[in-house]
Structure 1
């Protein structure tokens, strides 16, 4: 009986299983612990060790002076910690190199000029290597699943990231336009309050708008103003449905309410 052919994974599909990573480390604290081990061992050259936040230099020193530790327990502990820190550094190098490539391309550096820096011989090899690294920068755009380091996977992840970024920009632009319209609409409501039905609920929300509008500058104040305008529109619409008559007694009041209702509708998700 013939064995079934194993299907190759879709090169654009993200990995389901996350690779094991060191993740975030307090590297200065770990280097400090290793420094203390060397001080306790009376390492005569410890004064030459770089500062705790100079990770690469400190690791080179600890490697060169590993023999200064006399205790086997201290040597084991220091060696394992150094292995962990080098692995952490390896993870960070890939990410930061990918960002450096992005900056180089933004500065119009050609792939042929990047090839020697990436230790490859041709422009297309530099491009392909950079695309594989780019997976590190777009990882997490697929529901926090790691991205395969294939051109297809990176392109798909970048496409989805671009879609999300565009949606976020549209939402921000929409909010900015709405905030620009909010104060004039609220002021118009105050200007025509004599032409609005003086029932208690509408008067209450007009008072709230009047209280916050003069000093409406911060995001919190804008949110409060928006809430009060929406509440007034909602109250007016409820009153009109229950009484079958308009709460606006003048044409200007009707225009002000209409503008407020349109602003509320504009804020609603489509």
Structure 2
């Protein structure tokens, strides 16, 4: 019987299944719930339990004083244990994220991989590099929870970093183009809005002109400049579509016709 050859494994391929994670939880509320259970059990030392935002110290306290809960019903003791388990898992997941950020800070300060090896509990600079990249996979997932999960391999993380860099560079180019075009767009957009009463509008055109009017007065950041360009283009498209559907001009005055023509000439397509 012929054997099926297995496809070669690529360390950069995305994960097929998203890993199951605790993710972001309200840790302080969980600690407060744990404290309430100790208070209900009349734990004599509950006043020594750390504040709810001190998750690690609170878990150590709950571990040391778990016997104080023995007077509670089984279900409530089980609930306390499950809270502890969830919080430890939460800390485990957060540790990867924060350790990755610490490594990034160390690298910015020109810390060599050989220096990082002992701190990362590995023996060689190459091992420190690989472990740092694996940690970064958690940080990338934390930063973009809706993005596809990143495989915890150095190759996969490097590929995602390159993709992020390319996207950042593309965003910067778009922002720069918007800045260069901004001084031309503003008077044209202003003129179109001033001649709004001379235009026949439908719901779509009304919406985009409203968005244009909203962003125009305080248009200073690259994001706002890009928004201005998008809203002007969308308004022109909506008016052009309306004109096509009506089979007659949407401009009722010469001023409105000239304003729309200027907007159509300059708006990004």
- Is this a same-fold pair by TM over 0.5? yes
Matched, 1:152 2:145: no
Q: What is the CA-CA distance between 1:135 and the residue it aligns to? A: 1.7
Flag the 1:80–1:216 CA change in 2: closer, same or farther, 3 A. Answer: closer
Flag the 1:262–1:23 CA change in 2: closer, same or farther, 3 A. Answer: same
Flag the 1:137–1:118 CA change in 2: closer, same or farther, 3 A. Answer: same
Partners of 1:135 and 1:149 within 8 A in 2: yes
Flag the 1:115–1:146 CA change in 2: closer, same or farther, 3 A. Answer: same
1:196 aligned partner: none
Post-superposition CA distance 1:229-250 (Å, at most 9, x none): 958x969x99xxx99xxx99xx
Written as runs of structure 1 = structure 2, the 5 A alignment for 1:47-86 is 47-70=47-70, 71-73=72-74, 74-86=76-88
1:6 aligned partner: 6
Q: What is the CA-CA distance between 1:59 and the residue it aligns to? A: 0.5
Q: What is the CA-CA distance between 1:60 and the residue it aligns to? A: 0.7
Partners of 1:14 and 1:142 within 8 A in 2: no
1:104 aligned partner: 106
C-alpha distance in 2 between matches for 1:223 and 1:2: 61
Written as runs of structure 1 = structure 2, the 5 A alignment for 1:156-171 is 156-171=159-174
C-alpha distance in 2 between matches for 1:224 and 1:168: 14
Post-superposition CA distance 1:200-239 (Å, at most 9, x none): 559xxxxx9xxx7xx83355995799479958x969x99x
Written as runs of structure 1 = structure 2, the 5 A alignment for 1:1-270 is 1=1, 3-70=3-70, 71-73=72-74, 74-139=76-141, 144-185=147-188, 201=199, 216-218=217-219, 219=224, 226=232, 230=236, 261-264=264-267, 267-268=268-269
Q: What is the CA-CA distance between 1:5 and the residue it aligns to? A: 3.6
Q: What is the CA-CA distance between 1:4 and the residue it aligns to? A: 2.9
Q: What is the CA-CA distance between 1:259 and the residue it aligns to? A: 6.8
Moved more, 66-75 or 172-181: 172-181
Partners of 1:186 and 1:229 within 8 A in 2: no
Q: What is the CA-CA distance between 1:174 and the residue it aligns to? A: 2.6
- Give the number of equivalent residue pairs: 242
TM-score by length of 1: 0.72
Q: What is the CA-CA distance between 1:182 and the residue it aligns to? A: 2.2
Q: What is the CA-CA distance between 1:68 and the residue it aligns to? A: 0.8
Flag the 1:56–1:189 CA change in 2: closer, same or farther, 3 A. Answer: closer
Q: What is the CA-CA distance between 1:81 and the residue it aligns to? A: 1.2
C-alpha distance in 2 between matches for 1:142 and 1:156: 17
Q: What is the CA-CA distance between 1:186 and the residue it aligns to? A: 5.8
Flag the 1:142–1:8 CA change in 2: closer, same or farther, 3 A. Answer: farther
